[in-house]
Structure 1
Amino acid sequence: MFSTLRLILATAFLLNLAAAFPLIGRDIQWSFTLFQSPSCNGTIGDPHAGSGSTGCRADLHSVASAYTLNTVAEGCRIEFFDNTMCDQNELSDVAGQITPTDTCRMAGPRRRYGSYQVSCE
């Protein structure tokens, strides 16, 4: 009986852990870090990662001036917008495959990143 209870508690713990960290054990198809500073330094960045396409995401900790790409799988692209509604009229930048020269990417003059969406084939 004691071992059955222990097994049930261990299973419940693992299920709760998996729910708390849903990307563990899954392939990350895209990831990037947003920065308030246009030179991608200063305070710790705002990391975003996932697998597959997303809808519009405006869950940014702050409006960003620059970003660095960490991972972008083949067939995925990340669109950054100057507003919080992913309005195509205010598209700031589109990121695809990472190249060896990819480092800090900055928004244009008087522009900021306020939302993003990811499309994967």
Structure 2
Amino acid sequence: MNVEIGNRSLDNENSPIPKEKLTTLIDEVYGERKEKSDFTYNNLIQGILEGLNKHSSFYKYIVTVTDVQNKQSGSNDFELEHYFGASWSSKKDGLFQYCLPSEEDTSSQSVVTIVWISKSI
């Protein structure tokens, strides 16, 4: 049995940044930082937040990364811990999720989540 983690997001019509730009931003920041010896998910999140703030200052952003680990090679036994909750206006606020490209090591998959919250009341 194969397990796939897809890129699913809520309706992105109200996103302050188009889906394609979000995907490009995540890929570029990840590409720049993944090869560095001091790579951490906190560094990745910081780079994504910096890019988001350059695109639009009318929103506050929340970025999370979920790393899915295969507990035993060759099995479909995965470990995932990620919780998210929000109270927002569906007309102004939303989220986008994106799976980072898998490397040769298929025992791990990382998911980036970006949340935007309108600063206006």
* TM-score (normalised: structure 1): 0.25
Instruction: Indicate the structure with greater helix content.
Output: 2
Quick check: which has more Rg, 1 or 2?
1
Instruction: Indicate the structure with greater strand content.
Output: 1
More contact order relative to length (CA 8 Å, sep ≥ 6):
2
* TM-score (normalised: structure 2): 0.25
